[in-house]
Structure 1
Amino acid sequence: MQLLATSSILLAFAHLCKAHGNHHSDESSFNPVDFADEEASLEDIWGGFWPYQGVETFAHLPHTECLIDDQETFDIGIIGVPFDTATSYRPGARFGPSGIRKASQRQDMWRGFNFRAGLNPFDDWAKIIDCGDIPVTPMDNALALKQMSAAYDELVLKRNSTFDYSQSGSQKTSPTRVPPRFVSLGGDHSILLPILRTLKKAYGEVYVVHFDSHLDTWAPDKYPSYWKSEASDFTHGSMLWLAQQEGLIAKNGNLHVGLRTRISGDSWDDFDEDDEVGFKRIFADEIIDLQATGMARKILDYLPHDKPIYVSVDIDVIDPSAAPGTGTMEVGGFMTRELIYMLRQMETLNIVGADIVEVAPAYDPLDITQLAGSQVAYELITSMVKKGPLDTSLLADPATVATDEVDIIDKLINDESRIANMRMPFL
């Protein structure tokens, strides 16, 4: 019986093979080579992809190591800053850039039209690329700050936009070098200090709008400890205080949005100090009465429309129910939809740079936080593109910008001992 059953199976299989062969002998049937067009290029045939395929650059954008390729020109760059050793609570934001890039894979120029803005930021006037990451040491915060400061000087002050400003009648000046703009993927929030150091050189006075549940204008002594060093002053809660001490931001006119953190001591001393740093506060609770439209109006009524604006978004401005993957969660925050609406309304401002920070993927295995971070980056890029090419009248007069006597990058390159170890893997 077993032999008979086996024979029956083999016979049936032979009939199937014959039928399959007869099917392909029909001239009208599918031929696996018929799809190839002799005039099609390899790009035509193999250039397409599904969102889950390919190397994970942000939104499948072209990738260049912009710190190494000094000939690359672009208008907006995505730059990762995988640094998180200035955190005061939970670390993990060093994996933020890779997490945000992974979450951005459903974005691309073929399905990139932003219906809120009425344009596709990836397929408009601006050349947008993924510049990779700044290689920041996790071992020494003082050295890390120097690395990040030097990297942003290299990326902003020594690179040029693609757009031909000499042909733009709306530009008041036509400088030989116009810096590209950036959306930085953090990293903890301390990365804002080196960014502002460079923007001061490029634009002079910069106004900061700071979406966060925390003030981040705390003086270093608000982190009390017997042990102290110069590096210990540099934290993700003191960088705006340090920025004001260094004269990097406007003395007044900066703005917090989304505050709800507890503050120090037994009174409002932290708010008094925040006033001295030059910030106005919009609290998260205000959205209950104002709603997102009123919040956006309040932001736009306060910020100058003829000055360079920097937008810094800490993902913890979103409620932890919608963004749990962050280091210092505070309940009672915005919903993602509300934050996106407010960011979209800021498209009329002169945004010269932006960041999305404090995304820590290890605390959110479902990628909800990372997805929110990638959407925030997309909206910030959209606003830059919709505003149009940079108004060059915003640029600082190069004659008034102080430069270091010794260029940090040149010093590093000329140090042979560092060159020998520059490309060694971190252990």
Structure 2
Amino acid sequence: MKVLSVSALVLCQAVALSCSQIPISEDPLSGTKNPSWKTKYGPQYDQPFSGPLSFAHLSYSRCLEDEEANFDIAILGMPFDTGVTYRPGARFGPYAIRSGSRRQRESGGYTMAWGSSPYDQGIKILDCGDVPVSPFDNALAVDQLEIAYSTLLERPTPDATIKKHFTRSIAKDGLEHPRIVSLGGDHTIVLPILRSLNKVYGAISVIHFDAHLDTWAPAGRYPGQDTDQSRVTHGTFFYLAQEEGLISNNSIHAGIRCKLEGVSDLENDRAVGFQLISTDDIDDLGIPEIIRRIRKRVGNTPVYLSLDIDVIDPGLAPATGTPEAGGWTTRELKRVIRGLAGLNFVGADIVEVAPAYDNAEITGIAAADLVHDFLSLFLAKKSPSLAVSSKDEL
């Protein structure tokens, strides 16, 4: 009889007859009412390997479209890679970095290295999605990136009158502006970013982690590039930024190890406004001295941090467009970044992640972890000591 009852129920549903006398949540064989998911298991939540793809499972909004979305810190993807000179693919960088962050979440953001979590300090951090850049017209794409960044930079921060002020004292208009962590994309994206920041802060000091100088003069490095659009590449953008008065003479490179055409490249680099720390300096000077030199160079000026993933050795971060052997380790780089806490950071980026060249998400995971460091760096008042050490338990 039970089998017949089930068959009758199926037939009833198939012909759209009234089945209201049999509750949907009831087991027709036993008559036992099934509990709902929420009753039995609680709220629906995302596992590290499931759910919509946002950075560290943060709340996600298309902030360029949603004019009501506000934030203290925004994560913004910039999937532009048509300014590269070697391997393309960094347009997929924002996706790879978000994917690499899946094991991160707000509820588990505390690290021993920082002695804090960026998510429990009363600061609103929002993933603002990606800028829909043109893949066909670089001049148009660069303008789109500038307009997008400026749009978010002018967005009022939540509860601005009661929160701690981070940028008000250094902004030209005396207002509090949000800070943006940009996910590249190739390094060209920094030119429109600096154009946007210049409107708010004036000339910016740049801390630039990279294997390459990126200060090449277009006419000298790339002969024949005499059009406005062809001058803009991921190797010339700092030169152009200096031409436009966007960066100060207090900027500094760290991790440089690329091959040069000669001493003239170094002379040009100094003229653009950079001091240089090479990859080898980490052995000859040590991390504390590298940190001291960077801090002394930028001082109390508004500071922008730009990090090309190729500053890390390609054995540890292979997914990049212009790999150079002999780079820093991820651990060394993270330690240098922690030593920069307390500077006047107005923004940061991580660029040149090209996941087509990755293996087991090595590079994406490293990049996502560095973004977590950026968030902690923005909120730390001073360089943290090791808050919790294994030595404490010995």
Q: 1:166 to 1:176 in 2, by over 3 A?
A: farther
Of 156, 160, 168 in structure 2, the residue corresponding to residue 164 of structure 1 is 160
Distance 1:317 1:168 in 2: 33
Query: Does 1:126 pair with 2:123?
Result: yes
> How do 1:403-422 and structure 2 match up within 5 A?
none
CA contact (8 A) 1:314 1:358 kept: yes
Alignment partners' CA distance in 1, 2:289 and 2:165: 35
1:82 is matched with which residue: 67, 79, 84?
79
SS at the partner of 1:77? strand
Q: Which residue of 1 aligns with 2:99?
A: 102
Which residue is 1:397 aligned to?
A: none
Secondary structure, counterpart of 2:348 in structure 1: strand
Shift of residue 351 of structure 1? Answer: 0.8
1:362 aligns with 2:356: yes
Cα offset, 1:367, TM superposition: 0.7
Contact 2:82 2:135 in 1 (8 A): yes
| Deviation by residue 1:380-401 (Cα, 9 ceiling, x = unmatched) | 111112249xxxxxxxxxxxxx
Query: What code does the residue aligned with 1:381 have?
Result: L
Report whether the alignment pairs 1:319 with 2:313.
yes
Supply the distance in 1 between the matched residues of 2:170 and 2:305 (Cα, whole angstroms): 25
From 196, 209, 212, the counterpart of 2:194: 196
Cα distance, 1:140 vs structure 2: 0.8
Which residue number in structure 2 is paired with residue 141 of structure 1? Answer: 138
Which of 300, 304, 314 lines up with 1:310 in the alignment?
304
Match of residue 336 from structure 2: 342
Q: Which whole-Å deviations, capped at 9, do the CAs of 1:329-356 have from their partners, x for residues lacking one?
A: 1111100000000111111111110000
Number of the residue aligned with 2:276:
281
Q: CA deviation at 1:228?
A: 4.2
Q: Is contact 1:350-1:387 (8 Å) kept? A: no
**Cα contact 1:75–1:163 (8 A) shared by 2:** no
Structure 2 contact 97–183 (Cα < 8 Å) conserved: yes
Between structures 1 and 2, the one with greater helix share: 1
Q: CA distance change for structure 1 residues 168 and 233 in 2, over 3 Å: closer, same or farther?
A: closer
Query: Structure 1 length as normaliser, TM-score?
Result: 0.77
- Residues 1:380 and 2:374 are matched in the alignment: yes
Taking the aligned partners of 2:225 and 2:281, their CA distance within structure 1 comes to 39
Q: Given residue 363 of structure 1, which amino acid in structure 2 is its aligned partner?
A: Y
The answer to whether the Cα contact below 8 Å between 2:58 and 2:127 also exists between their aligned partners in 1 is: yes
Aligned equivalent of 2:205:
207
Does the 8 A contact of 2:70 with 2:158 survive in 1? yes
Q: Please report how far the alpha carbon of residue 227 of structure 1 lies from its aligned counterpart in structure 2 after TM superposition.
A: 6.0
TM-score by structure 2 length? Answer: 0.83
1:238 aligned onto 2:233: no
**Residue-by-residue CA offset, 1:29-77 (whole Å, 9 max, x unaligned):** xx98499659xxxxx8223332111111000000011101112110000
How far off its partner does 1:299 sit? 1.7
The alignment status of 1:224 with 2:218, answered yes or no, reads: no
Structure 2 counterpart of 1:259, from 256, 259, 264: 256
Q: Deviations over 1:284-338 (max 9, x none)?
A: 001112232332222223221x221000000000011111100001111100000
Question: Does the 8 A contact of 2:38 with 2:44 survive in 1?
Answer: no
User: 1:72 corresponds to which letter in structure 2?
Assistant: A
Mapped contact 2:131–2:148 kept (Cα < 8 A)? yes
2:346 and 2:254 map into 1 onto residues whose CA distance is: 19
Query: Hey, what does 2:24 align to over in structure 1?
Result: none
**In 2: Cα distance, 1:176 partner to 1:204 partner:** 13
Counterpart code for 1:334: W
Q: How many Å separate the matches in 2 of 1:34 and 1:140?
A: 52
Gaps of 5+ in 2: 1-29, 383-394
Q: How many residues align?
A: 349
- Which of 125, 147, 150 is the matching residue for 1:150? 147
Partner of 1:270: 265
8 Å contact from structure 2 (residues 345, 378) kept in 1: yes
Residue 42 of structure 2: SS of its match in structure 1? helix
**How far off its partner does 1:169 sit?**
9.0
Judge conservation of contact 1:114–1:121 (CA < 8 Å) in 2.
no
**3-state secondary structure, aligned to 2:341:** helix
The alpha-carbon deviation at position 365 of structure 1 amounts to 3.1
RMSD between aligned residues: 2.4
| C-alpha distance in 1 between matches for 2:225 and 2:39 | 71
SS at match of 1:369: helix
SS of the residue 1:322 aligns to: coil
Mapped partners of 1:239, 1:339: distance in 2: 23
Answering whether residue 287 of structure 2 is matched by residue 292 of structure 1, we say: yes
